[in-house]
Amino acid sequence: MADSRELTPIHKEELRRAGRLLHASIGFRLVIAEFNDPQFRKKIIDEINGFGVKSVVLEVNRAEFPNFYDFELKIAELSKIYNVIHVVDLDTWLNMDDKDDRMVLGFNYHRESIANTCKASLFLWMTELGIYSFMTTVPDMWSWRSAVLTFVIEKEKISTSLLTDKGYDYLEAMPLDRRLTRINELEKFLQTPPSDLGNRLLSQLYNELGSLYIHLGTKDGLKKGMDYYEKALNIDIDMYGEEHPSAADDYNNIGLAWNNMGESKKALEYYEKALKIDLKIYGENHPNVAIGYNNIGSAWYSMGESKKALEYYEKALKIDLKIYGENHPNVATEYNNMGNAWDIIGESKKSLEYYEKALEN
């Protein structure tokens, strides 16, 4: 699916909501704005400017705003000139998974001061992941929101799950104490979730909890992770139906969980469900399909069926070579997987050939 930056009826309704908020009264107002494309965000900001408001875009970074107090002073200063302040690059500036949590805590501890000194509507632009991190780690400020507006566009989905894309490395590298803290934050938040928490964000929260538990590496953690993945799957099927990328992601997550539990046959069942959906949506030559073939190959490999695994590794390799070319990490992984499979079969010469190709990448 090609990117579309045209305003949809949903976007227009969200803009009407923004307009009603801005014309309702003057003074401080907190608006959370979700986006997934910087160019489209700029377009929406231009549309909001058409409401007759005087607005400014404030890009935040830790070099210019090393302390929360600097940020607080800046928005107070800007609010004397502008009646709408669009704050962008918040996800990076807050860096909510950094041990240095001064920025995050600042929103909670300084919320009353911000409300008193900022005389403008404060639009906090964040990604979906940033929003649910914000609402769980900054609950006091979150509770002061006037609205959550969604300005996302449909984009071709490349990553397949928290466990198969960059989220896997991120969670694996997360210190154990931070992982446990995050689990406690999310579970506490979900005990009494806000009434306007949408199912899409709820599914994302369940998926993150599932991944956090899976990466604990304990038997209990694997079981709890599986439970959360299944909750996410049920929500996504209710929202989108069985044949949707989100359902495929969930099936892949559940398959990976079963695989970590040593249940490769069960994992294969879920990997095949995910692949069936991805093939129907994307066709053969797509990164998600390559990942699906790789997952299935890994399941067969774990069951001792190396020849069967090779069939799927080769399919994955063929797709990724076509999409990325020879020099790509995915291609290197596939060469390495094929080297492992040939080694188990007893073809050492063939195995070495693929290991060397993997090293060349």
pLDDT, position 161: 36
Q: What is the mean pLDDT of residues 34-61?
A: 90
Same domain, 35 and 116: yes
Residue 290 has pLDDT above 90, yes or no: yes
In percent, the amount of the chain with pLDDT more than 90 equals 42
Distance CA 49, CA 255 (A): 47
Same domain, 28 and 143: yes
Q: pLDDT (tens digit, 9 = 90+) per residue, 126-177? A: 887 778 778 777 777 888 888 889 898 865 433 333 333 334 445 555 677 7
In percent, the amount of the chain with pLDDT more than 70 equals 90
Count of domains for the chain:
2
Residue 98 has pLDDT above 60, yes or no: no
Q: pLDDT (tens digit, 9 = 90+) per residue, 40-49? A: 999 999 999 9
pLDDT, position 103: 73
Q: What is the mean pLDDT of residues 281-310?
A: 93
Same domain, 89 and 182: no
Q: Is residue 158 part of a domain?
A: no
Residue 221 has pLDDT above 70, yes or no: yes
pLDDT band at 198 (very low <50, low <70, confident <90, very high): confident
pTM of the model: 0.61
Q: Is residue 345 part of a domain?
A: yes
Residue 3 has pLDDT above 50, yes or no: no
Q: What is the mean pLDDT of residues 314-319?
A: 95
More confident residue, 9 or 76: 76
Which of 99-103, 201-205, 355-359 bottoms out in mean pLDDT, i.e. has the lowest? 99-103
pLDDT, position 206: 92
What tokens does 289 get?
């399909």
More confident residue, 340 or 99: 340
For the domain that residue 24 is a member of, what is the CATH number? 3.40.50.300
What tokens does 206 get?
């369940």
- Domain span at residue 83 reads 9-151
More confident residue, 101 or 144: 144
Same domain, 122 and 188: no
What spatial distance separates the first Cα and last Cα of the chain, rounded to whole Å?
Answer: 30
Residue 228 has pLDDT above 60, yes or no: yes
Residue 54 has pLDDT above 70, yes or no: yes
Q: What is the mean pLDDT of residues 3-31?
A: 83
pLDDT, position 62: 79
Q: What is the mean pLDDT of residues 78-84?
A: 94
Q: Is residue 269 part of a domain?
A: yes
Secondary structure string (H, E, C) spanning the chain: CCCCCCCCHHHHHHHHHHHHHHHHCCCCEEEEEEECCHHHHHHHHHHHHCCCCCEEEEECCCCCCCCHHHHHHHHHHHCCCCCEEEEECHHHHHCCCCCCCHHHHHHHHCHHHHHHHCCCEEEEEECHHHHHHHHHHCHHHHCCEEEEEEECCCCCCCCCCCCCCHHHHHHHHCCHHHHHHHHHHHHHHHHCCCCCCCHHHHHHHHHHHHHHHHCCCCHHHHHHHHHHHHHHHHHHHHHHCCCCHHHHHHHHHHHHHHHHCCCHHHHHHHHHHHHHHHHHHHCCCCHHHHHHHHHHHHHHHHCCCHHHHHHHHHHHHHHHHHHHCCCCHHHHHHHHHHHHHHHHHCCHHHHHHHHHHHHHC
Same domain, 132 and 272: no
Residue 239 has pLDDT above 70, yes or no: yes
Same domain, 137 and 240: no
Q: Is residue 2 part of a domain?
A: no
pLDDT, position 4: 56
* Rounded alpha-carbon distances, angstroms, from residue 324 to 56, 154, 275, 328, 337: 40, 23, 20, 6, 18
Same domain, 147 and 172: no
pLDDT, position 82: 94
pLDDT, position 112: 85
Same domain, 147 and 185: no
Q: Is residue 1 part of a domain?
A: no
pLDDT, position 163: 34
Same domain, 269 and 340: yes
Q: What is the mean pLDDT of residues 294-323?
A: 94
